[in-house]
Amino acid sequence: MNKVTDPMESPSDSSDVDAFTDGGLLPTLVRASAGTGKTYRLTARLLRILLQGASPETILATTFTRKAAGEILDRVLLTLARAADPDDPEALQSLRDQVGIATLPRSVCLQLIDTLLRNIHRLRICTMDSLFSQLARSFPFELGLPPAWRLTDEIEEAWLRERAVDSVISMLDRSEMTAVLSMLGKGDIKRSVARELLQVVDAAYSGQRLCNDDVWKQLKAPKLPESADVTRAAGIMRMAEPPQKRLRTKLDQFAEKLELRDFGSLVDDTLVANIGAARRSRTEVLYYRSPFPEGVDEAFDVVYAAAKSTVLALMNAQNEATATVIAAYDHHIGQLKHTARAVGFEDVAIRLAAEFSRLDQKSLALRMDGAVDHLLLDEFQDTSPVQWHVLRPFAARCAAPVDESAGKDAQREVPKSFFCVGDTKQAIYGWRGGVAEIFEAVADQISGITEVEQNQSFRSSPVVVEAVNDTFKNLQRHPICDAANSGDLTDKSMYEAVAVRDFAVRFPTHSTARMELPGHVRLETARQIEDGDASQRQLACFEDAARIAAEINAANPERSIGILTRTNRGVAQLIFMLEQMEVSVSQEGGNPLTDSAAVEMILSALMMAEHPGDGRWAFHVSSTPMAAIPGFGSDFVRSMCEDRGVAETVEFLAGTLAPLCDVRETLRLKQLVQLALGYEMNPAPRLRDFVRMVREKRVERPQAAAVRVMTVHQSKGLEFDAVILAELDGPLTRARTSCVPDIERAGDPPKGLSRYLGSKSWHYLPATWQRAFGMQAEGSMTEAMCLLYVAMTRARQSLRMVIQPPKKTAFENRTPSSLIYHALGCKEDPTQGETVLFESGDPAWMGEPSEPVAEKNPMEAPIAIKFRCD
């Protein structure tokens, strides 16, 4: 940037931009806790880079959502615009403080915003998916992409996946399919072949794509004991003379199973597990705390070896069958996508990761129309290994120090910078590939990086921050942590206990900059349900949550309220309750349009045309205004779809229903027409495909209400005056169905993959695989802690937690509610309904809202669709 002078400033303030900067930008990694100004810091870094004269095309900033990318760009432009306003001197000073340039002239801000607006298309602030799409369009030939390729969405991916599974089924003959399914199910053949194969694909396909072909063959099964040894072991047990009848009975049972070679029934036997534990600890084998007579140890070794061989042989067969299915699926899904010229985001990332390892920076800069000199990574804790493989060459180049021994020309090269911000306490996307450990590994893989922590909240009141500190620094109070020091690598609870303990030990003490902000935190039980099942007890929590939200909303309608759940089913139930209470409510992420009766009518008309012999659709349509259309019927709808297309047909039918609809129903009809217009860009051959898309695709209502209901995952990046947590009583971790990777270093492809094995049978696994299974369990528990942390830190002033009364006073359940109860040191009896277990702060915390709701939401813009009935 050239020297500039602002006539509004004194001459002494005008200078070349480089003169009033205080040095270079060191490679920096920021650990930013919730609400501590992560976006503010990233924006400051970006502004500083621009003010130092960097061209927009040399900057790359990535995040994980379009909303976050838009927020960063908005902040950059608005900050510069306000600083350039001569009537707003405070904005200029605020920008000076933000970027650390005390003598920043207003003229530079004015010139920079002019440059950015003229080159806004060259400033890359984008999502990871958008970046990878841009990169793929720069290397279509190298990546093997089909001509005129396009990106799929989640719904089309599901359709293609199902079609590929159908192709796999049709490819194998009956005997091959029976054998494969038998191995997949460990000897059991499931009722639904397609569903079984889809589960295998969902569990294992993504994990295998960057691995070697033999990745499923790393778990070896030992041979069964020799037949003579088995016979001898049975004889030893028959001849033993234990002192107790119970021991005698057990030895006879073992002897019979050995004689019949019924090794499968030994696998889950308690005594076999005791044998394994005794061998690991080098102690005596006990059964109901009673020792066996001398001389049977040799026979026990044979029993354990037979059970171990049986388990691992079944796992080996399951792994081999999985490899067969995945290989066949990969072939068919590749053909389907190539024919449709469709590519998924994961496909793009994997191809880029493989190609970027062979590309030099000069070729990369040439294809991208300019080198990336400044890299800024947001929400880095959610980065997947594949994504990091693509980003690492950029990061290494941008963080590379200047070679002091090089010549002057080399040292005068364009300055570069690397900035990475994230928070491993908010790593809640492991289920979609995010690996928080990569964030920790950045310091090792990128040389010369400076690490910074920021734990002062600019969001929450002192009461909320104190409750968060008390909860997560005292997690070890829960009995779940007692197993942390057991040292038993076969014990799943040990890995989970270590995860909880380490989360508490590493948790930094949070503070707040909003000391004057009043707040309130309460943990309470819902009404007692004596004989109800789990769903009824959960419903009681939802009822209390809806009541609390209604009370806050009635007292101050401008207050933002977030009700967070763990499941989408909970979201639907809460929305229904709040609407019954006549509370205006919206859902983050949206609902399928089938929450509209008018939309359902149109979908029935389309299904009637698709299946004219199915009377259900005709019966439904017959009671709607569409039935009054002259000649209306299945042939009418089918002909219109063929002649005019799905979009115009939907618009015509919507125009028939719109005059009888209220505002909400009319809006949903307009959104249905929008979906139809987008669908016609790549139509499927069957109407039912469009109907299915409508039933599955989530569409947001344009106007966000003061009361919003969402899952904790959807709440990431949001904040509310009041947060209500009403689904805290489910298990901390869920049963695993995915495959287990054996990974040597975070970010590396797995050395081996295996299907999951129940924790009771981990003692049969080799030590390497015991650690692999244990690390997965530890990761799942850590993610559960992260989910709870994200949920609690969304609150500005009020945090209300409603839990089910447990059955026992000790309250040692492995649930979030039990963790919170013990961590906060609650003394009240938790088994009593409608009881306040913990309370802090001022219940009358409401006054003027901390951040008033904007008068007009940008999403409220009218939808430009006119219904036609001609």
Q: What is the pLDDT of residues 551-564, one digit of tens each?
A: 999 999 999 999 99
Sequence ranges of the domains in the chain: 11-141+347-454, 150-340, 459-464+517-590+704-736+781-853, 593-699
Domains 11-141+347-454 and 459-464+517-590+704-736+781-853 share a fold: yes
**What gap in Å lies between CA 845 and CA 313, rounded to an integer?**
62
Q: Which residues pair with 405 in a beta bridge?
A: none
**What gap in Å lies between CA 495 and CA 813, rounded to an integer?**
17
34 is known to lie in a ligand binding site: yes
- Residue 846: what are its φ and ψ, rounded to 5°? -75, 140
**DSSP letter for each residue of 199-252:** HHHHHHHHHHTTS-TTGGG-SPPPPPPPHHHHHHHHHHHHH---SSHHHHHHHH
**What gap in Å lies between CA 426 and CA 378, rounded to an integer?**
12
Q: How far is CA 470 from CA 338, 462, 647, 719, in A?
A: 54, 12, 55, 20
Rg (CA), the chain: 31
Contact 816, 566 (CB under 8 A): no
Whether domain 11-141+347-454 has CATH 3.40.50.300 = yes
Task: List pLDDT tens digits, range 755-785.
Answer: 889 999 999 999 999 999 999 999 999 999 9
**What gap in Å lies between CA 765 and CA 488, rounded to an integer?**
13
- Number of helices (H), then strands (E), belonging to the chain: the values are 29, 23
Give how far the C-alpha of residue 707 lies from the chain's centroid of Cα atoms, to the nearest Å: 24
Neighbours of 506 (CB within 10 A): 10
User: What HEC string does 93-139 produce?
Assistant: HHHHHHHCCCCCCHHHHHHHHHHHHHCHHHCEEEEHHHHHHHHHHHC
780 is known to lie in a ligand binding site: no
- Per DSSP, the three-state class of 473 is helix
**What gap in Å lies between CA 193 and CA 201, rounded to an integer?**
12
For 840, the token pair is 């802090």
The DSSP H or E segment spanning 82 is helix 66-83
Please report the pLDDT score of residue 736 as a whole number.
67
Contacts (Cβ under 8 Å, ≥6 apart) of 758? none
Strand-strand pairing, 456-457 and 286-287: unpaired
Nearest to 539 by CA among 574, 586, 587: 574
Nearest to 771 by CA among 505, 491, 538, 384: 491
Strand-strand pairing, 520-525 and 836-841: antiparallel
Contacts (Cβ under 8 Å, ≥6 apart) of 282? none
Q: How far is CA 187 from CA 493, 612, 762, in A?
A: 29, 42, 19
Nearest to 504 by CA among 482, 480, 471: 471
Please report the pLDDT score of residue 17 as a whole number.
37
Please report the pLDDT score of residue 176 as a whole number.
64
Q: What is the pTM for the complete model shown?
A: 0.87
**What gap in Å lies between CA 305 and CA 416, rounded to an integer?**
60
Q: What DSSP character marks residue 453?
A: E
Contact 824, 471 (CB under 8 A): yes
Contact 458, 513 (CB under 8 A): yes
Q: Helix, strand, coil proportions of the chain in percent (round to 5)?
A: 55, 10, 35
Specify the length of the chain in residues.
870
**DSSP letter for each residue of 509-532:** PPEES-TT---EEEEEE----SS-
Please report the pLDDT score of residue 5 as a whole number.
33
Q: Which CATH superfamily is domain 459-464+517-590+704-736+781-853 in?
A: P-loop containing nucleotide triphosphate hydrolases (3.40.50.300)
Contact 174, 314 (CB under 8 A): no
33 is known to lie in a ligand binding site: yes
Contact 600, 594 (CB under 8 A): yes
**What gap in Å lies between CA 277 and CA 297, rounded to an integer?**
13
Question: 114-123, long-range: CB within 8 Å, 24+ apart, which pairs?
Answer: 115/56, 116/50, 116/56, 116/76, 116/77, 116/80, 117/77, 119/56, 119/57, 120/56, 122/55, 122/56, 122/57, 123/56, 123/57, 123/59, 123/73
Tokens 């990233």 -> residue: 42
Give how far the C-alpha of residue 442 lies from the chain's centroid of Cα atoms, to the nearest Å: 21
For 159, the token pair is 């359709």
pLDDT less than 50: residues of the chain: 1-23, 406, 410-411, 850-870
39 is known to lie in a ligand binding site: yes
Strand-strand pairing, 740-742 and 836-841: unpaired
**What gap in Å lies between CA 284 and CA 240, rounded to an integer?**
16
535 is known to lie in a ligand binding site: no
- Per DSSP, the three-state class of 444 is helix
35 is known to lie in a ligand binding site: yes
Contact 211, 742 (CB under 8 A): no
Nearest to 651 by CA among 864, 415, 410, 409: 864
Contact 259, 233 (CB under 8 A): no
Burial class (CB in 10 A: 0-12, 13-18, 19+), 166: middle
For 490, the token pair is 């076969």
**What gap in Å lies between CA 153 and CA 32, rounded to an integer?**
31
Q: How far apart are the first and last CA of the chain?
A: 60
Question: Residues 345, 350, 355, 361: what is their CA dihedral angle, to the nearest 10 degrees?
Answer: 60
